[in-house]
Amino acid sequence: MPTTDRAGNGRITAYGGVEELWSLRDDVLVENGDDGSVSLTSRWGDLVIRRPGAILRESLHRMRLGPVSLANVRELGDGSREAALEQAALLAALDRLQHVVVRSLRAVDSEPVLLSAEPVSHRSGFRPRPLDPDVPVRMSRFASLASDGRYLRVESPLALHRVWLFRPEAVSIFAHLARARSAAAVAKLALLPADVTLAALSYLVAAGMVIEGETGDEGPVFAEETDPALRLWSLPDLLFHTRSTLGRHDEDFGATYRFGDGPGPEPVVRRREGKRFPLYRPVLADLLAADPPLTAVLESRRSARRFDRSLLTARDLGEFLYRAVRIRALHGAEGSAPGDAATQDRPYPAGGGIHELEFYVAVGACAGLERGVYVYDAEAHELVLVDGAPEPAGHLLRFARLAAGLEDDPPALITMTARFGRMFWKYSAMGYALTLKHVGVVMQTMYLVAHAMGLGACAVGSSEIEDTSRLLGTDWLAESGVGAMVVGRPPGGEGPSGFDPPARHGVNDPGWREECAGWSPDASYGAERDRHGDR
């Protein structure tokens, strides 16, 4: 049975056919200080080793240049007791630097490195240990294989390392890891000598790409399937979560402008061609005089599920779009340098002022506007006709009816798309997540504006991007649906009619909803609006 070395610091000493190699991440700088110290500069900051021994100093400089066997570092390989002590001290020192140390394996009788485990977090720790040959192993369902254009890498949102597979023989191990097998069985099947495969497996287990199970009555059991938190996650969801946040990856993050200094592929405002329909503009004084108070709106707002298809007007849509999503100002010049790039100001907030969201209106029944699909020009405050045929609008409205559980097609549907290029030009890693946050911000803004106006609204969280892109005339990769809002007027005198779960246990002043419903638009806003008449 193989064993770890005495220091217990994650070396595999007993797999005869392999050599372990050590190097530093490519982005680590090693510098000697005037005071005898050595400093390591990495993406996670500076680390100063005040009094490194000569061997640690030499090892670090050599590891900076590429993978080295510690046995080849001066004086460590002669088998003497002093050399063994020096080596133990070196391993102890390297153990504290695990977040910048890349660990590689090579078969002793061949030159090329088989695979490497590279740390991706300042918390990464790598302590491979020899495997029990009888233990069931399998590729983690969260691990995935991808190419960087030269090599295959294995990554997992659960792992704080990425594994590089440099040789086909190393890749071949994964061919036998789709289902659970004993480590010994995998070693027998793979293209490499058994001890090399076992060493590689122990690296893959330590890196989190391969999981060890337990033998249960009904076959192998893996914690990945039984862990109460983990079993709920899918790979795409967990990958998106870990990659759109900081902490578990080493990718660039935030406003990096990684494509260069240009203005990006998307203009600050997309000019629209087509037949235009100027929209009603509300008067601020009217709104200030007639709007229900914020608390009344917040407390009595519901998702509306019933609409009277004869009540919605073009004036309603004009006022609604103006108050919720129009452009209030443009900042910076188009084509200006990054950091000073053109941005927008709208009633709802958006990260970086990018405002990548566009609003398409599918009109089903609206006095003053023909049925059809329109796009909102938020600068001109006009609708521009995209398609006046009945079917595109009908398709979008039907989808919304099903998604929102409505009895009938809604009078209007506002589909939000994102012009991804505007986001991705600026932001690395967090761009798409930011767009989804914007959708939520817009949804709440629309809910509140609609309710203040006496309209009913219901958010639609599921988007169908193939049909929607075809119907809106967009390339789904450049611009596609990310959310939608159903809008209409509830049947006469009725406020928005939400679904209440069967057992609703009110807490924290549940009666406020009814009290605030007294501020219904019929009682206040409607009367005020009638005095001003249609504009």
Ligand X SMILES: Cc1cc2nc3c(=O)[nH]c(=O)nc-3n(C[C@H](O)[C@H](O)[C@H](O)COP(=O)(O)O)c2cc1C
- Residue ranges that bind ligand X, judged by CB under 6 A: 302-303, 403-405, 440, 443, 458-462, 498
Token pair in block for residue 435:
């767009």
| Shortest distance, position 417 Cβ to ligand X, whole Å | 16
CA distances from 76 to 55, 69, 94, 96, 390 (A): 9, 10, 15, 20, 81
Structure-token pair, residue 119? 């740390």
Q: Which of 325, 403 has the CB closer to ligand X?
A: 403
Nearer to ligand X, 443 or 452 (CB): 443
Closer by beta carbon to ligand X, 246 or else 294: 294
CA proximity to 321, closest of 498, 178, 149, 455: 455
Query: Which residues, in sequence order, are CB contacts of 335 under 8 Å at separation 6+?
Result: 262, 263, 342
Distances (CA, A) of 150 to 64, 326, 498: 21, 47, 55
User: Helices 54-65 and 81-95, interaxial angle, to 10°?
Assistant: 60
43 vs 499, beta carbon nearer ligand X: 499
Per DSSP, helices labelled H in 427-464 are 431-453
Phi then psi for residue 103, to 5 deg, are -110, 130
**At its nearest, how many Å lie between ligand X and the CB of residue 436?**
9
Shortest gap between Cβ of 60 and ligand X (angstroms)? Answer: 51
Nearest residue (CB) to ligand X, 339 versus 440? 440
Minimum CB separation of residue 450 from ligand X in Å reads: 11
Give the shortest CB-345-to-ligand X separation in angstroms. Answer: 24
Measure the CA–CA gap between 64 and 133, rounded to whole angstroms.
Answer: 35
Q: What are phi and psi of 11, to 5 degrees?
A: -110, 150
Q: Provide the minimum distance between the beta carbon of 484 and ligand X in the complex, in angstroms, as a whole number.
A: 8
Beta carbon of residue 447, minimum distance to ligand X (angstroms, whole number): 7
Of 120 and 460, CB closest to ligand X: 460
The nearer residue to ligand X, 106 or 305, going by C-beta atoms, is 305
> Nearest CA to 303 among 104, 455, 112, 107?
455
User: What's the CA dihedral at 224, 226, 227, 231 to 10 degrees?
Assistant: 70
Strand-pair partners of 47: 40
Q: If DSSP codes are grouped into helix, strand and coil, which group holds residue 434? A: helix
H or E element in which residue 324 lies: helix 314-325
Give me the least distance between CB of 499 and ligand X, in Å please. Answer: 6
Instruction: Compare residues 354 and 406 and give the one whose CB is closer to ligand X.
Output: 406
- Structure-token match 């005089």, residue found: 289
Please state the closest distance from residue 244 (CB atom) to ligand X, in A.
17
Toward ligand X, which CB reaches closer, 394 or 498?
A: 498
Contacts of 310 (CB under 8 A, 6+ apart): 365, 367
Distance between CA atoms of residues 488 and 305, nearest Å: 9
Residue 141 or 437: the one with the smaller Cβ distance to ligand X is 437
Cβ distance to ligand X smaller for residue 240 or 259: 240
15, with CB counted inside 10 A (0-12, 13-18, 19+), is buried
Q: Shortest Cβ distance from residue 363 to ligand X (Å)? A: 20
Provide, rounded to whole angstroms, the least separation between the CB of residue 454 and ligand X.
16
Which token pair is 112? Answer: 């090329």
What are 454's two structure tokens? Answer: 């006496």
Q: Which residues pair with 38 in a beta bridge?
A: 32, 49
Taking residue 533's Cβ as centre, other Cβ atoms within 10 Å add up to: 6
